[in-house]
Structures are given as C-alpha cells and as structure tokens.
Amino acid sequence: MVSTTPIEPMDSPPPGPAGAVTGALAARSAATGRAGDKVFLALSRGSGIFLLVLMASIAVFLTYRAAMALTENEGNFLTTFDWNPAGNPPVFGIAVLLFGTVVSSVIAMAIAVPVAVGIALFISHYAPRKLAGPIAYVVDLLAAVPSIIYGIWGALFLVPYLEGLNLWLDHFFSWTYIFEKTQVGVARSLFTVGILLAIMILPIVTSVSREVFLQVPKAHEEAALALGATRWEVIRMSVLPFGRSGVISASMLGLGRALGETMAVATVLSPSFLISGHLLNPGGGTFAQNIAAKFDEANELGRDALIASGLVLFVLTLLVNGGARMIIARRKEYSGANA
C-alpha cells in the first residue's frame, strides 16, 4: 500500500513543544536581523548625509565671509602681491600665498613620495621579519609627532644646517635660476619649508603604501618568481602595478597635510609678500601660515580677508583630492578592461 501520510516540509519546525521553541527562536532571529540591518542602514545613511551637510555648511560660511571681504577690496584678489586689509583703501591678494603653498607642497611631494615608496617596499618585501616590525613601528610613531615639534626642530636644527646646503646648491646649480641665492640670510625659505614638510608627510605616505604592498596576492609574486624573475622584477611587474592606486591615495593624503600645515611652516618660514623664483632666498608665505600669523591682530575686514584666503585653500584641497579620485577611478576602469 502507498502511504498517504503527509510529508512535512523540510523548512518547517518539528511538531510539539520543541518545534514551537525552534520556530519562535527562528522568528526572533529573523526579526532581530532585519531590525539591525535597518538601524545600521539608517546610521550609515545619516553619517553620509551629515558629512555632506557639514561640508556644505563650511563652504557656505567661507563663501559668505569671503564675499563680504571681496566687496571692500580695492585690488585684484588673485593677482595682488600685497596684504593690507587695514589700509585706506584696503588692498589684499593671494598671489604670494598661492605661490608659496603650491611650491612648498610640490617640493615636499617630490622629496617624500619616492623615499616613502622605497621605505614601504623595504619593509614589506626586503627587510627580515624581525627588522620590519620595529621599522614599521618607528614610522607609525613619527606620524603621531605634533607639528609644533617638527617646527621647533626645523627652526633650531634644520635652518642652521641647511645654510651650508644652500651655499653648495648656489655654487654648483645657480645656473638653474631656481637654486641661485641672491639674498644674504639664514635658510628660512620655501625650500627649507618643503624639506620640513617632506619629513612630516613621509610617515603618512609610507604607512599607507606599506599596507597596500602587503595586500599584493602572493600567487602573483610566486608565479613571477617561478618564471625566473628577480626580486626587483617581481616588484616592478607585480607589486607596483597592483599598489599604484594605493600609492596615489597615500600621496594625496600627504599632499593634503602639506597644503594645510600651519605651525611648522610659521615657525620656520620668514614671511614676506614677494614672489621669487630663487627658492633659496628667505621669504614667502602660505595660506595656513598667513592665517595663523595675522588672525589675532586683524580687524573685522582683515578676518574676512583671511577667511577668503581660507576659501581658496579649501577649494584647492577639494580639487586636488577630486583629481586624485578621478585618476584612481580611471586606472581601475583601465585595469578592468585589460583583465
């Protein structure tokens, strides 16, 4: 005879008290999971919206105060070489500040990024494990040093000793015009500031690059070694292409700190509102250094003028980071197309 007893579905709980308990626990788990997902989604979405609102509020505040200052300015804000908001008439511009900020940051990036990538490669692929750990710890510790400490060290140690380097550069490379020293004075120049900023951003770029290089799939490296590649060829063909986007991101993090660095630059630099292509000459200025030096003594219009310069720095930082994101996204698309 064929049994007519109905077969219980596989997913249904067994009959009796045990089945009731199992069903209740399953229902409670499902409800809890859905509630947790909803809470997490709400918190994540709220955090993202809050960040956008915060950025927009900062932009609106800076734009409003900058507009108040620019209506009183008698000079061209982008090309004027003077900063005198308290004058009659008030005249101020950011030409010198933009030049000093960009030049010192470019010098810092040109020095720091190659050195940081080399240190990251040494820690991740060359150094023995017992040595790589302490070196990585020291590098991470350098990132936590306050900027004022770097500034004091730069003023008391770097500035006196760099004067000899400046004279050497002037003697052998004055024909480049950039390394020609035409003014007598200590090494409180944009070149010195660039070297100090390079030292400050070195730990950031190194730490991020090191973590990226450690994420390279071991199978790629082992395959290259199996084909007879040397260690440098493995790094050149497998590690560097894989970590290129990460190195760009790390460099942009370092550049962001270099653009906005305040106390270290204010401690080392001898401020002046003159633009000179001779980077060894004392003088110059940056946005952050000028704001820190003049904010307390400025009147209402002077503070609005400083906020206007802060708006330019804000836009400059956004453009730099936006450009970096575009480069990274384009490289990902290119890598995906070639995969």
State pTM to two decimals: 0.82
Lowest mean pLDDT among 127-136, 155-164, 173-182, 326-335: 326-335
From the list 89, 49, 40, 98, the residue with the least C-alpha distance to 69 is 89
* Burial of 327 from C-beta contacts in 10 A (0-12 / 13-18 / 19+): middle
User: Is the pLDDT confidence value at 17 over 90?
Assistant: no
- The pLDDT tens digits for 65-76 are 999 989 888 888
pLDDT tens profile 44-66:
999 999 999 999 999 999 999 99
CATH (residue range 93-297): 1.10.3720.10
Among 204-213, 224-233, 261-270, the least confident range: 224-233
Average pLDDT over residues 149-171: 88
pLDDT band at 33 (very low <50, low <70, confident <90, very high): low
Kindly tell me if the per-residue pLDDT of 151 is higher than 80.
Answer: yes
The lowest-confidence range among 92-96, 130-134, 219-223 is 219-223
| Res. 150: pLDDT tops 60 | yes
Q: Give the pLDDT band of residue 322 (cuts 50, 70, 90).
A: confident
Q: Which residues contact 208 (CB under 8 A, 6 or more apart)?
A: 246, 249, 250, 253
